Structure 1
Amino acid sequence: MMGDEAAAQVEQLGELARILEDAGYIEKKGGRYDLTPRGMRKIGQKALKDIFSQLKKDSFGKHKTSFIGAGGERTDVSKKYEFGDPFLLDLEKTVMNAVFREGPMTPVRIQPPDFEVYRTELITSSSTVLMLDMSRSMILRNCWAAAKKVAMALNQLIQSQYPKDNLYIIGFSDRARRMTAEGLNQVQWNEQVYGTNMQHGFMMARQLLGKHKSGNKQIIMITDGEPTAHLEESGEVFFAYPPTQRTVTETLKEATRCTREGIVINTFMLEKSRYLAKFIEQLTAINKGRAFYSSPESLGEYILVDYVSQKRKHVK
């Protein structure tokens, strides 16, 4: 028999479950509760809010700034009108230019050289594959929760602010596999599986991004270890630790194919091992992508701000 305090806690949990079910956030399937699509959106919104609220406390100096150009969304900065510019007239500046040119007289005669228009920022479309390391060390070092939170927040960001963008999620351990943001909470871990198969992850990401012929294409890889597995021509998985040169070579071959197809690989490393650092140096040299050392606590800040900043592309 449970004590009064334990019984009260069980009753409170039952009441909480009823409230969440009535609100449409969870539903009962069999003997367990599962999140509904509405519940997943709520969690994604919470993750997004948590990450961006942390950013308000930090400096943005380490992140790239937006570029100003022609075409796209209007900024608050104006410039002299040039042929071909969108005619987003800054009326106040235009009139003042005419007044400065002719003096304070009425009526004000505006001439073509007086026109000033607002500058614009080009918002580019993007197709992104988020590659999540699902090796056991990610769980043991408490990195998986941070990676999952980023995936859900990035999914929510794209759905709410950049609906024309495409996001795919790939989990990789011995093999790579497609995942959904909704399915991240149902991930089952197999203790008998070994390997960090980046090669298969890059291959699958390249195939997914190959469906999109325009816009930016990128891979965001979150990992805490070096590649220790690859696919043989037969489709079988080869695993070895420490990593063999063969695995490294096969992984870099796939990264080279990504590079040829214009796919940028951004790596967020949660560990500073000698093997990983050496591999990332080779990967970055081949792909001309970027690499960041991060902690689980700051992972979301880096990735979401970097994603938003990369949306703005220099045109003029």
Structure 2
Amino acid sequence: MTGGEPSDGGAARGDRVRYLPYRPGPDPLAPPFDTARALRGLGRRVFDGKRPHQALRDLLRQGVDGIPGTDELLRQVRERRGQAARRGGLDGVHRRARAELDRAVELELRALADDPSDDARVRESELASLPRDTAAALRHLLAGPYPWRSDEARETVARLLEEVRNDLVDARLGRSEAWRAHSPDPAGVAAMATALAALLEADARGEPVDLDRFMAEHGAFFPEFAGRPGTLDDVAEALARRAAAARAHASSLNPDRRAELEGLLGEAAREAGLAEALDRLADALLRRRPDLVREAFAEVDGPGDLGLAEAVDLIEELADLDELARALEGGPDGVDPAAAERLLGPGAAEAVGRLAEVEPRLRGAGLLTGGRSRPRLTPQAVRRLGEAALRGLATGRRGHRSGGHGLAQERGVGTAGTARPDAGDPGATVPWEPGSPAPLDAVATVRAAVVRRAADPQAPLLSPEDVRTAEAEERAAAAVCLLVDLSSSMVRGGLFGPAREAALALYTLVGARYPQDAVRVVGFDETARPLSAAELLEPAGPRVQGSNVQHALLLAREHFGRHPGRAPVAVLVTDGEPTAHLGRDGSPEFAWPPRPETAEKTEAELDALAAMGAAVTLIVPGGGGEAGALAQAVTGRGGQVIRTEDETLGVKVIDAYTSRRSGR
């Protein structure tokens, strides 16, 4: 991708266009962040019983709004790390150096073979007895020094020493062009390393340092600071990470290989005291940044022979990947986008940046409040989650429609998922039902047909499901009580979240479409208690055994008693038989298998509700055949039983409410 920029007056005059190099960054065509989708993802986890901070953490781990989460980024880190660890062995410098030395010895032996003198035989014997330790062999040859007969052999050894010396500089100071330009001058590198070590040591003692003077003498090693002020920390930062990687490389070798490496480097860098200067600088850097000390990487192995600088590059990359993984495990806030881009690419950096914006955006939209460690959902968030739940149930209901009960868009929730201002007006529409005396609503019918054909242009122009009728005047107000089992069996069955979401959707529907109705949600396990809309999003408490249906029905009866004259609507959601009841002292009594007394007290409450004209609708989620005795007790008193799969639980709850309150 390229970018054009007009010059000398702009493209309007036909001037030339200057093309700039592509720079990766955020996609300018990416859709804006969807706060509503993020809230829904957060809400699903809260419905399942997580605290808001746990739900937010899980949301960021799994991703939101098309953004890969930290779990996916961690997977990429581990994959990249595995590939890097198999790139090559850490002791390739030994094999390379030994191969070059063996080549020099072979060239020398060829030169000596044509010489019949005793001196030639002595030299052949000396070469044959060289130690296998490359550093020791070089030390022996250089100590004399050995009088080479072969010029090519002498040049091979000299080149070997220069390559190892340059590799050492690259390994300790980095592989930038600036360092490579100075590698042939060991005296200049040693002088810079000694001066920088002295600055760091003086600063550690609290003494003043003259960084300007250092940069005036050695600034060519640091071109990134040319023309701008820098601090001693700026200069030391990259070198400290490199020094830590070099130390980790050495500690990753077995003791014999480490000793051989130190000897080889010592022989190659003996000139101008380079080895001592680099060791002093490394010590000063790591004293300044002890947090960068790396563990050994003994698991690194591969078919390639890496040079010393390549091996240190690999160690530095592995250490950076480990550091990135630790940061990702703590959440996106602590991740350096630059590190993510360097190690995983621009897509990862963009993902980290967008994930870090999720919580601030939710707070900015007024959906989260409280401290960073303990965020809380605001009333606005609760309201919007209820609207989203109801909108989702409306979609699900259209896919499972078995009757003609109005919901969501047809009963007071607009297409954007918010309550219509005229939610309670007689002008609302409902799907047409055969035999309905209500007049047709032509505008609503055409609108429904257009929406349907937009999704499927090949569909018929008009379908019976498009037909809408004007809803008659509101029927009498109702008192509705939704009784939701929140016991441990519901949690184990994955029904806890869907049940709470259905309850919040009911609150939203009543507020939007039937504000004259008195609604109450009762949650029960070993005991029963009323739950407000906000309490439906409270963190789940400890799992409690027992389904005290009797206590829940008692609270429903009390609710109906406080609202005489309103049609009583009772909807009970439970996945099994009652296993608890209230004892004579009012405390709960749980037993498994259930005691006959539990069933007797539960049926007594059903009788009391029937006497008030309240027929119970029992919804058994999970698609199983539980609650057999309870189902018989409900149907024997004029109620009905609905068995449903988990994904249609909310739809069945809303249908049960709308059907009962309208007398269907």
TM-score > 0.5, shorter chain as reference: yes
How far did residue 203 of structure 1 move?
Answer: 0.8
Q: Distance in 2 between matches of 1:204 and 1:11?
A: 49
Equivalent-residue separation in structure 2 for 1:51 and 1:119 (angstroms): 21
d(CA) in 2 for partners of 1:59, 1:313: 18
| Contact 1:225-1:271 within 8 A present in 2 as well | no
1:300 aligns with 2:650: yes
* Preserved contact between residue 47 and residue 149 of structure 1 (Cα < 8 Å): yes
Would the alpha carbon gap of residues 10 and 152 (structure 1) be closer, same or farther in structure 2, given more than 3 Å must change? farther
- Dislocated runs of 4+, deviation >6 Å: 74-77, 272-275
The alpha-carbon deviation at position 41 of structure 1 amounts to 0.8
267-276 or 46-55: which moved more?
267-276
Match of 2:588 in 1: 237
One of 534, 542, 559 as aligned partner of 1:190 = 542
- What letter corresponds to residue 51 of structure 1 in structure 2? L
Structure 2-normalised TM-score?
0.37
Task: State how 1:138-177 maps to structure 2 within 5 Å.
Answer: 138-177=490-529
Is 1:3–2:314 an aligned residue pair? Answer: no
Contact kept, 8 Å, 2:617 with 2:656, in 1: the verdict is no
Pick closer, same or farther for the CA change 1:10–1:248 going to 2, 3 Å: farther
- 1:81-92 pair list within 5 angstroms: none
Query: For 1:310 and 1:280, how far apart are their aligned partners in 2?
Result: 18
| 8 A Cα contact 2:577 2:629, kept in partner | no
Question: Relative to 1, partners in 2 of residues 1:216 and 1:18: Cα closer, same or farther, differing over 3 Å?
Answer: same
SS of structure 2 residue aligned to 1:168: strand
**CA distance in 2: counterparts of 1:38 and 1:177, whole angstroms:** 24
Q: CA 1:23 to 1:271, structure 2 compared with 1: closer, same or farther past 3 Å?
A: closer
User: Structure 1 residues 14, 183: CA separation in 2 closer, same or farther (over 3 Å shift)?
Assistant: farther
Post-superposition offset of 1:122: 4.6
Provide the rounded CA distance (Å) in 2 between the counterparts of 1:4 and 1:199.
51
TM-score (norm 1): 0.76
Q: How much has 1:270 moved relative to structure 2?
A: 1.8
Task: Measure, in 1, the Cα distance between the counterparts of 2:602 and 2:471.
Answer: 43
| Amino acid in structure 2 at the alignment position of 1:46 | A
Q: Is the 8 A contact 1:64 1:306 kept in 2?
A: no
Matched, 1:270 2:612: no
Is there any run of 5+ residues in structure 2 with no aligned partner, and where? 1-322, 329-334, 338-350, 407-424, 433-438, 440-469
Partner of 1:290: 640
CA shift digits 1:250-279 (9 cap, x unpaired): 111111111112222111012576662122
How far off its partner does 1:11 sit? Answer: 5.2
Q: Of Structure 1 and Structure 2, which has the larger fraction of its residues in helix?
A: 2
Question: Which fold has the larger relative contact order, with Cα–Cα distance below 8 Å and residues 6 or more apart in sequence?
Answer: 1
1:183-262 equivalent positions in 2, closer than 5 A: 183-191=535-543, 193-262=544-613
Contact 1:170/1:176 (CA < 8 Å) preserved in 2?
Answer: yes
Tell me, which stretches of 5 or more residues in structure 1 are unaligned?
66-71, 78-87, 89-117
The CA distance in 1 between the partners of 2:511 and 2:621, in whole Å, is 27
Distance 2:471 2:643 in 1: 35
Deviation by residue 1:146-193 (Cα, 9 ceiling, x = unmatched): 1111011111111111111111111111111111121112143324x3
Task: Output the CA distance in 1 between the equivalents of 2:624 and 2:398.
Answer: 31
What is the RMSD computed on CA atoms of the aligned residues?
Answer: 2.8
Deviation of 1:119 (Å)? 9.5
Residue 142 of structure 1 deviates from its aligned partner by 0.6
For 1:229, the aligned partner's letter is A
SS at match of 1:123: coil
Deviations along 1:100-141, whole A, 9 cap, x unmatched?
xxxxxxxxxxxxxxxxxx994552311111111011111111
Structure 1 residues 271 and 217 mapped into 2: Cα distance closer, same or farther (>3 Å)? same
Find the aligned partners of 1:125 and 1:29 in 2 and give their Cα distance. 42
Is 1:281 aligned to 2:626, yes or no? no
Query: Contact 2:478/2:661 (CA < 8 Å) preserved in 1?
Result: yes
8 Å Cα contact 2:571-2:656 kept in structure 1: no
Aligned residue in 2 for 1:132: 484
Q: In proportion to residue count, which structure has more strand? A: 1
3-state DSSP of counterpart to 1:131: strand
Question: Structure 1: how far apart are the matches of 2:570 and 2:656?
Answer: 13
Query: Any conservation in 1 of the 2:426–2:473 contact (CA below 8 Å)?
Result: yes
Kindly tell me the number of residue pairs found equivalent between the two proteins.
266
* CA 1:183–1:64: 2 relative to 1, 3 Å: closer
Question: Aligned partners of 1:49, 1:271: CA distance in 2, in Å?
Answer: 22
Correspondence list, 1:47-86, <5 A: 47-61=389-403, 73=426
What secondary structure, in the 3-state scheme, does the structure 2 residue paired with 1:174 have?
coil
Distance 2:558 2:471 in 1: 37
